[in-house]
Structure 1
Amino acid sequence: MSYSWLDYGRWLDASFFAGSHAPSFDIATIQHDGVACPVEEAVVDSVPFCSLRRFTRKHARRAPPSGIFLCAPLAGHHAVMLRETVETLLHDGDVYISDWQDARTIPVDAGPLDLDDYVTTLERFVTYAQREAGRLHLIAVCQAAPPALAAAALLADTGAPSLASMTLIGGPIDARLQPTALGRFAMSHDLAWFRAFTIDVVPECHAGAMRRVYPGYLQRVALFNAHPERLSALRMRCWLSAMRMSTEPLEHAQRALEAYSAVLDMPEAYFLDTIRVIFHDALLARGLWRIGDRKVSAAALDRTPLCTIEGDRDDITGQGQTHAAHELCASADAPRRRITIEHCNHYDLFTGPRWHEAVHPALVDFWRALDLGERSRSTHQSVETPGAQLG
């Protein structure tokens, strides 16, 4: 019997990361207005490949925004990678998050998942959350930005209730602009190459046996090679906590390391669709994307308040790629804000000091401006928000 390098990759992953798994969110309480506020977590809707989780603040004073929908990316990590993001946003309102499942756990008879399915899943979940929460702010991170914009546009086209706002963070709305090494690699290889060299079959020991996927072990290698300093920093946090040389509890440091290290398999159709639609053909940026027989018209969002946030050191999503949403969703009167965070890489946009000290405050300021009925000075004017410089 002969084995491929993909077989070897599976064996290597199982050998060295057998104990690696995605931790639970486990957000029991938050400190809200100076008091401990219990948090209730529940799965409120689901489809085979994704669950909609809701985090509800019990006994908290309700203040706008009353509901926040966080679109988690399906890009190798589990949604729990955004645990810190969820915990912070709970200070502003109840939080919903799309929790994508590991394709190796989904039986083949559940069908495939392509990018169209991803968009329609977000449509379904946003409709549910909006019906339950009423006033809903949508936030999409990284890879989730293009399908979230598409889902919002399709809903707006049907006359669905307007979102309170939409915020896109570090996502490739137009991947042609200032492409990073990751983007250049995706653009320089055709789909046949990706199908031949990056697609594996789920082994028989899993529920999703025989499903064709972009395997998590390849994603793990790519992440560790691209950002070795991040893995080292997370391991150092654990070591310092274990040695009691840090004020951070060891369990918090371990959870962060587990969330980063735990990866998942992505369905082949979805993975290849993303490369084709976002990187090869730029269908969203060119106004040519169709979901089934429906055209994605970003112009339908001309009345939706829009905020885009980029990091000036983001080496995954290039400069201007997220801000490009403003040209697609051009409006004469809807509030618009374009924010660039200084000294900020991709992961800093949703975790760590830059998230807490610059990104989240800028986001809250945008929401506060909406509550006060403020309008930006010009639809196309950029508001650069560097945030506090770290010492």
Structure 2
Amino acid sequence: MSCRWPDAWQGFAPPIVNFYPWLASAARAHTAPPPFAIGCIEDGNGTCPVEECVVDHVPFCSLRRFARAWPARKDKDGSAAREAVFVCAPLAGHHAVMMRESVESLLQHADVYITDWIDARDISPEAGPLSLEDYVLTLERFVRRAQREAGALHLLAVCQAAPPALAAAALRADAGDEPLASLTLIGGPIDARLNPTALERFAQSHERAWFRAWVIDTVPAPYVGATRPVYPGYLQQAAILTGHPERQFALAMRYWMSAVRASGEPLAQAQRAFDEYAAVLDMPEAYFLDTIEVVFQEALLARGLWRIGERPVRPAALSGIPLCTIEGGRDDITGAGQTHAAHALCANTGAPRSRLTIDDCNHYDLFTGPRWRDIVQPALRDFWRSLDTRCHAHHPERISQSRRSHR
């Protein structure tokens, strides 16, 4: 028997049907991430194809590269001067694809690499645990790989990725490796002792054993990672919804308005944004508990006491690297001043520095939405353009001397 909408509902049938995909997404407790699917970008030169591929991989993470088809510009000596941005995506609940908008806009000016952390439920226990130290070592390896390909590499870390990214950069600088073109930290707890948020106070006031007892679960069969201890996605999804209901509401309203209007492309974009936000992953137990202890409870980076193996993490080794820090005035995840604290740790010997606090900007606004597009990304573009990146990448001492002489 066929089903027919009542005559009075005929004008509303398509919009109602348009709600089904959103309802299906909302009902899934733990979704697989949608693909980045950035096939091309539009810039001043027209339509530019983008090639996406995985250029390096470890059991817990893949390094994705998004390369533009436009030929690299040429230096005066005729050599290629291709720049790239290395995005350290946080391992803090969401999949890296939630930063798709950031990647797409950064591609307007440079190739982009991004760390794509893998859901721990899909990693065999035989791969071992992923500790915070392993995270730092993974970033070291991936940055080394990207620097072999890029003429100048800007390192950009968001949220929880900021402390391990700063550590990895400092370790490489201490070892005398090729310097970064710049380091940018966005909304990250470099010193979580400063103006802690409610979330950070909670992390600081509960012992490691409490978290292990109350928020750690094991991956069930039939997942590849069965028996692996994790901070599970379903708990994170509940915490995200409770802590940021306004974002869930905004994404839902964007979808509903597009559905009511039956507008094809806006509706597809709204569904994609919701799917990207809803796709969470299981975090490995060791990494999660290490982050609570090292970053929020003991503040080892800020106190100069953090060691990766036998190597001390010395941010002062980055004194000659251009540094940019960006905070949101309404960030309820990372407290005020915590990201800017990197400037005091990385003593300045003349390298350009920039710190930006954006009013009426919450944590997610820092890397997605209108404030990212209209304020953060243009500020980053201007900061990078102010640097002679090719010269700095190969002769940092010359750049420092030149800037000091023109003051």
- TM-score by structure 1 length? 0.89
Q: Is 1:39 matched up with 2:50?
A: yes
205-214 vs 30-39, which moves further: 30-39
Q: 1:266 to 1:366 in 2, by over 3 A?
A: same
Give the Cα separation in 1 of the matches to 2:373 and 2:362. 14
Higher RCO structure, 1 or 2 (CA under 8 Å, sep 6+): 2
Residue deviations 1:78-117 (CA, integer Å, cap 9, x gap)? 0001000000000110000000000000000011100000
Give the Cα separation in 1 of the matches to 2:45 and 2:349. 41
TM-superposed CA distance for 1:367, in Å, is: 0.8
Out of 204, 210, 225, the residue aligned to residue 187 of structure 1 is 204
Give the Cα separation in 1 of the matches to 2:35 and 2:172. 31
Match of 1:368 in 2: 385
Q: Is 1:234 matched up with 2:234?
A: no
SS at 2:295 equivalent? helix
TM-superposed CA distance for 1:61, in Å, is: 5.3
Give the Cα separation in 2 of the matches to 1:176 and 1:366. 28
Match of 1:223 in 2: 240
Letter of the 2:38 counterpart: I
Gaps of 5+ in 1: 1-13, 380-391
TM-superposed CA distance for 1:20, in Å, is: 3.0
Q: Is 1:96 matched up with 2:107?
A: no
Q: 1:193 to 1:235 in 2, by over 3 A?
A: same
Out of 209, 212, 222, the residue aligned to residue 205 of structure 1 is 222
Residue deviations 1:161-214 (CA, integer Å, cap 9, x gap)? 110000000000000000001100000101010010000000011000000000
Q: 1:370 to 1:276 in 2, by over 3 A?
A: same
TM-superposed CA distance for 1:343, in Å, is: 1.4
Match of 2:127 in 1: 110
Give the Cα separation in 2 of the matches to 1:368 and 1:15. 41
8 Å contact kept, 1:289–1:295: yes
Residue deviations 1:16-54 (CA, integer Å, cap 9, x gap)? 415833100000110021411000000000000000000
Out of 345, 367, 382, the residue aligned to residue 350 of structure 1 is 367
Residue deviations 1:134-186 (CA, integer Å, cap 9, x gap)? 21000000000000000000001111011000000000000000000110000
Q: Is 1:335 matched up with 2:352?
A: yes
Out of 85, 94, 99, the residue aligned to residue 77 of structure 1 is 94
Letter of the 1:36 counterpart: T
8 Å contact kept, 2:154–2:182: yes
Match of 1:307 in 2: 324
Letter of the 2:129 counterpart: P
SS at 1:184 equivalent? helix
8 Å contact kept, 1:24–1:80: yes
Q: Is 1:28 matched up with 2:45?
A: no
Match of 2:16 in 1: none
SS at 1:160 equivalent? coil
Structure number with larger C-alpha Rg: 2
SS at 2:204 equivalent? helix
69-78 vs 230-239, which moves further: 230-239
TM-superposed CA distance for 1:365, in Å, is: 1.2
Out of 53, 60, 64, the residue aligned to residue 53 of structure 1 is 64
TM-superposed CA distance for 1:245, in Å, is: 6.8
SS at 1:249 equivalent? helix
211-220 vs 243-252, which moves further: 243-252
Letter of the 1:83 counterpart: R
8 Å contact kept, 2:39–2:50: yes
TM-superposed CA distance for 1:302, in Å, is: 0.6
Letter of the 2:256 counterpart: W
Match of 2:396 in 1: none
Match of 1:159 in 2: 176
Match of 1:196 in 2: 213
Out of 150, 166, 169, the residue aligned to residue 133 of structure 1 is 150
Letter of the 1:56 counterpart: A
Out of 187, 199, 206, the residue aligned to residue 170 of structure 1 is 187
- TM-score by structure 2 length? 0.86
What is the root-mean-square deviation in Å for CA atoms of aligned residues?
2.0
SS at 1:343 equivalent? coil
Identity of aligned residues (%): 66
Identify, as 1 or 2, the structure richer in helix: 2
Q: 1:92 to 1:146 in 2, by over 3 A?
A: same
Q: Is 1:268 matched up with 2:279?
A: no
Give the Cα separation in 1 of the matches to 2:219 and 2:317. 40
TM-superposed CA distance for 1:246, in Å, is: 6.2
TM-superposed CA distance for 1:335, in Å, is: 1.0
Gaps of 5+ in 2: 1-24, 75-80, 393-398
SS at 1:370 equivalent? coil
8 Å contact kept, 2:30–2:233: no
SS at 2:386 equivalent? helix
Pairs aligned (count): 364
Letter of the 1:35 counterpart: G
119-128 vs 250-259, which moves further: 250-259
SS at 2:102 equivalent? helix
8 Å contact kept, 1:32–1:60: no
